[in-house]
Amino acid sequence: MPAMRKPRGLTLITVLIIAGAIALVGWIITYGPAYWENTDVNRILKEAANMCYREPDDEKVKTWVFIQLHRMFDTEDRDNRGDPVMSIDVQRDDLRIERTDGPPRYVSIWLTYQRAVNVPLLNQQRMVTFYDHAEQDLSPVKW
């Protein structure tokens, strides 16, 4: 019967797997909250797209979106003009709503915003840019 080989111990593959796991945990700690909040922004955009079915005025939809964004990202600080400051960098012009005229009727909503992310070990701040999109069919429902 052949003798069992001695365990190899620490190999290059083991080191790479451990380094990859540490890098993944670091990425989740650094960027995870920004991407998690982005799911809430996508939910707001989907609700706004659904709202477009009954609300023909795009400015009212934009106002509703920004009210929701302020509720979510308001920092309680004020800028030079006295406006509330959000933890994301977004302007009203960064929200675009387009509707198609003919059948099928659709609405598309795009929002581009940036969020500052603190990198813990480097003591630096990075800006992450998100490009979000929501779409909704506005055709009347036929029962």
Q: What is the per-residue pLDDT across 40-53, written as a single tens digit (0 to 9) for each?
A: 999 999 999 999 98
- For 82: left if phi > 0, alpha if psi spans -120 to 50, otherwise beta; the answer is left
Tokens at 47, concatenated? 């609700």
Confirm whether 143 is domain-assigned: no
Tokens at 36, concatenated? 């998690």
Q: What are phi and psi of 141, to 5 degrees?
A: -80, 130
pLDDT at 64: 96
pLDDT at 7: 74
Confirm whether 7 is domain-assigned: no
Confirm whether 100 is domain-assigned: yes
pLDDT at 102: 78
Confirm whether 4 is domain-assigned: no
Q: What is the pTM of this model?
A: 0.82
Over residues 11-38, the mean pLDDT reads 93
Strands (E), 37-103: 74-78, 84-86, 88-89, 95-99
In the chain, the number of structural domains is: 1
Considering only CA atoms, which of 85, 97, 132, 141 is closest in space to residue 113? 132
Bond from prior residue into 104 cis (ω within 30 degrees of 0): yes
Confirm whether 73 is domain-assigned: yes
Rounded to the nearest integer, the mean pLDDT of the chain is 90
Confirm whether 82 is domain-assigned: yes
Confirm whether 61 is domain-assigned: yes
Domain extent, residue 59, equals 12-137
Is the predicted pLDDT of residue 65 greater than 80, yes or no? yes
